[in-house]
Amino acid sequence: MTSYLNQVACHEQGIAPAIAVAATPDKLLMQAWVNREALATAVAEKRAVYWSRFRKKLGRKGEESGNVQKSTEIRLGGDAICYRVKQIGGIACHTGRANCFYQRLENEAWVTTDEILVEPE
Amino acid sequence: MTSYLNQVACHEQGIAPAIAVAATPDKLLMQAWVNREALATAVAEKRAVYWSRFRKKLGRKGEESGNVQKSTEIRLGGDAICYRVKQIGGIACHTGRANCFYQRLENEAWVTTDEILVEPE
């Protein structure tokens, strides 16, 4: 197997965290997971590809919604990989928000702070 | 147990990914892990606290190096939490680099692109 894939520390079930960051300006979009197949596919197709723990299959971001993440760079840091992407449509979250981190901890409760920009189908 | 802790999806060994982002400007610093104890401690102490999978204990970022991550906000997104922090010393990585994602994938190899700013002890 290609060496760069083996250098990603995959723990449980051969998966590692994958973090998507918008390229310009720098903006945290989402966290999901990759296995080696997802990462190799992302490299081949120059887009963010994840491994769905729930559905147990590859997921090309934006496959259904059209909100593709075009990968401009892939980075490795500790246990995780980072996709630096151009987020097509400006919507990274399946809830129709710009990013998935739309809840903030306030007085020991998660409070939704970000509005839905596009109503999900 | 406090409800906000139960709302963090903890998978393997009760841990979840924790991503640290510098507050201004937005900059991905590192990815590590939290369990509920780490997250509750972070909330109480207003600093990034992680769970070391390797050492099997809590780690307060900067405990030894002084490069504390003062937490300004904690967010939840999918399976992960995000610490938005003020990175004291400007060094998030134990290698003495500004952030941990200092390797970039180039022609199927991880290439170090970021320089060491402070020689680690």
Give alpha helix (H) positions in chain A: 3-6, 36-45
Reply yes or no on whether the pLDDT at A118 is more than 60: yes
Q: Distance between CA atoms of A85 and A19, rounded to whole angstroms?
A: 10
- Chain B nearest-CA residue for A30: B77
- At A99 the pLDDT is 95
* DSSP label at residue A15: -
Reply yes or no on whether the pLDDT at A116 is more than 60: yes
Average pLDDT over residues B111-119: 95
- At B16 the pLDDT is 94
Measured over the CA atoms of residue A29, residue A32, residue A36 and residue A42, the dihedral's sign is: negative
Pairing of strands B80-87, B69-77: antiparallel
**Using beta carbons and an 8 Å cutoff, which residues of B are at the interface with A?**
2-4, 7, 11-12, 17, 19, 21, 25-28, 30-33, 43, 53, 73-80, 82, 93, 99-105, 108-110
Here the tokens at position A18 are 């994958």
Question: Model-level pTM?
Answer: 0.94
- At B13 the pLDDT is 77
Q: Are B31 and B100 in contact (CB under 8 A)?
A: yes
CB contact under 8 A, B7 and A110: yes
Reply yes or no on whether the pLDDT at B11 is more than 80: no
Question: pLDDT tens digits for B16-50?
Answer: 999 999 977 789 999 999 999 999 999 999 999 99
- At B76 the pLDDT is 97
- Count CB atoms within 10 A of the CB of residue A4: 21
In terms of Cβ atoms closer than 10 Å to its own Cβ (0-12, 13-18, 19+), residue B56 is exposed
CB contact under 8 A, B3 and A109: yes
Query: Contacts of residue A77 in chain B, CB cutoff 8 Å?
Result: 28, 30-31, 93, 99-103
Residue A26: pLDDT band by 50, 70, 90 thresholds? confident
Here the tokens at position B80 are 């992960």
Residues contacting A51, CB < 8 A, separation 6+: A15, A32, A33, A34, A35, A37, A38, A57, A58, A59
Average pLDDT over residues B4-10: 86
Average pLDDT over residues A84-96: 95
CB contact under 8 A, A43 and B75: no
Most confident of A4-13, A23-32, B85-94: B85-94
* DSSP label at residue B96: S
Residue A117: pLDDT band by 50, 70, 90 thresholds? very high
B16-46 burial code (b ≥16 CB/10 A, e <16)? bbbbbbbeeeebbbbbbbbbbebbbbbbeee
- At A1 the pLDDT is 54
CA distance B32 to chain A (A): 7
Reply yes or no on whether the pLDDT at A44 is more than 90: yes
Residue A24: pLDDT band by 50, 70, 90 thresholds? confident
Average pLDDT over residues A99-113: 96
Reply yes or no on whether the pLDDT at A22 is more than 90: yes
